[in-house]
Amino acid sequence: MDANITIIGAGVVGLAIAERLSAEHKDVFLIEKHLTFGQETSSRNSEVIHAGIYYTKDSLKSRLCVEGKWLLYDYCKKYNVPYNNCGKLIVATSEEEIAIIEGIRQTAIRNGVDDLLLIGREQIGELEPNIFALKALFSPSTGIIDSHSLMKQFETNAINNSCQIVYGSEVTGISKIKGGYKISLLDSDKNQYEFTSGIVINSSGLTSDKVSEMVGINDDSLKILFCKGEYFRLNPPKNRLIKRLVYPVPHQNMEGIGIHVTIDMGGGVKLGPDVKYLESNIYDYKLTASKQEAFYISAKKFLPFLEFDDLSPEMAGIRPKIQKPGEPLRDFYIMEETNRGYPGFINLIGMESPGLTSSIAIAKYVNGLIRDTI
């Protein structure tokens, strides 16, 4: 085999896996179609280190998020990756929502997040004097991170571990051969070439269902639906009125977690993302200025100082959802595919939020799958 392990996709998840595996294994390759890392979902998100509050008990999302956040904080300290453990408030703005946040607290406790505090107006006023809430849950372990610096550090460590990172090459075909897989690539000069790899890890984000189909796995329940989320910026100087993350109560089936307020490492504040399944899987990052009214109305409930003109369109990201509209919450799909007849082929599909938070824990989990395979 030309390679021992090949990882497809240099987003935050693929990079974390590359760093981890190259520390233990020889001949690890990371293949990315763009000319550098993090050009898709990993650089179009809220950059929140989630606490792991909302997910279904014992799901991978829950377990990898809770483990991943601590691993991520430790990693940031070790490598000086910028982060801010600023905390988050989930706000109830009506009597009905107070009952909902109590329920969220119970879910969080079942998930091993036992540090949430239910606080009243006085304490809310001390933490965030400019917001409106009757009650709130305060999550002290939530934070924000500079995701570009994180990916850069993963890349640096992977390279130092002798991982071969190949940018500008798209995987166009995969076929099973004795003892591994043959991978076809198209480089940025439109040259085609092939190589072989014992293990293949599909971490290709929005097209991970297509890459899985290349090897022969056709499964309707793993079809990705592009689900767009747009953000609006809170213009200066009002960005200075918020110091933490502020979330409304989430939608019932967690298609998204409500238009929330996130701060970033540069002092910016944004509102969003909203949730819109796209009709087809196209990379549509266009911003919809006409959504400003809906964002304004939604956020005004807990940001009383907000005026319509305080907002400007900022950016959009696309979630790789395997959960169809209206369906219950789906888990990450992380699977070594021996049972389907593809030993040593590891799929990561539906890696939406909290994929950034969980990235180091995901890498550890995938390393465990490989140990079991070899």
Task: Report the interface residues with ligand FAD, using CB under 6 A.
Answer: 8-14, 31-34, 39-42, 44-48, 50, 170-171, 203-207, 211, 229, 273, 317-319, 351-357
Instruction: Give min distance, CB of 212 to ligand FAD, in A.
Output: 11
Strands of 9-142, DSSP E = 28-31, 48-49, 83-84, 88-92, 117-119, 135-139
What distance lies between CA 128 and its chain's CA centroid? Answer: 26
What distance lies between CA 241 and its chain's CA centroid? Answer: 27
Q: Give the residue with the Cβ less far from ligand FAD, 14 or 198.
A: 14
Question: Is the CB of residue 310 less than 8 Å from the CB of residue 238?
Answer: yes
Q: Give the residue with the Cβ less far from ligand FAD, 135 or 212.
A: 212
Q: Give the residue with the Cβ less far from ligand FAD, 141 or 353.
A: 353
Instruction: Give min distance, CB of 98 to ligand FAD, in A.
Output: 25
Contacts of 258 (CB under 8 A, 6+ apart): 247, 248, 249, 250, 251, 298
Instruction: Give min distance, CB of 165 to ligand FAD, in A.
Output: 11
Instruction: Give min distance, CB of 343 to ligand FAD, in A.
Output: 21
Q: Which amino acid is at 90?
A: I
Q: Considering only CA atoms, which of 317, 10, 59 is closest in space to residue 169?
A: 10
Beta carbons within 10 angstroms of residue 308's beta carbon = 11
Length of the chain: 374
Instruction: Give min distance, CB of 144 to ligand FAD, in A.
Output: 8
Instruction: Give min distance, CB of 336 to ligand FAD, in A.
Output: 17
Sheet containing strand 83-84, strands side by side: 48-49, 143-145, 83-84
Instruction: Give min distance, CB of 16 to ligand FAD, in A.
Output: 8
Q: Give the residue with the Cβ less far from ligand FAD, 202 or 239.
A: 202
Q: Give the residue with the Cβ less far from ligand FAD, 168 or 343.
A: 168
Whole-number Cα distances in Å, 347 to 157, 261, 330, 374: 23, 33, 15, 16
- What residue number has its CB nearest to ligand FAD? 355
Q: Give the residue with the Cβ less far from ligand FAD, 296 or 332.
A: 332
Q: Give the residue with the Cβ less far from ligand FAD, 46 or 347.
A: 46
Q: Which amino acid is at 155?
A: E
Instruction: Give min distance, CB of 29 to ligand FAD, in A.
Output: 11
Q: Which amino acid is at 3?
A: A
**Half-sphere exposure of 219 toward its Cβ, with a 13 Å CA cutoff?**
14
Q: DSSP string covering 132-173, please?
A: --SEEEEETT-EEE-HHHHHHHHHHHHHHTT-EEE-SEEEEE
Q: Give the residue with the Cβ less far from ligand FAD, 118 or 173.
A: 173
Instruction: Give min distance, CB of 222 to ligand FAD, in A.
Output: 14
Q: Give the residue with the Cβ less far from ligand FAD, 85 or 123.
A: 85
Q: Give the residue with the Cβ less far from ligand FAD, 31 or 91.
A: 31
Instruction: Give min distance, CB of 14 to ligand FAD, in A.
Output: 5
Per-residue b/e over 246-257, b at no fewer than 16 CB within 10 Å? Answer: bbbbbeeebbbb
Residues 208, 169: Cα–Cα separation, whole Å: 16
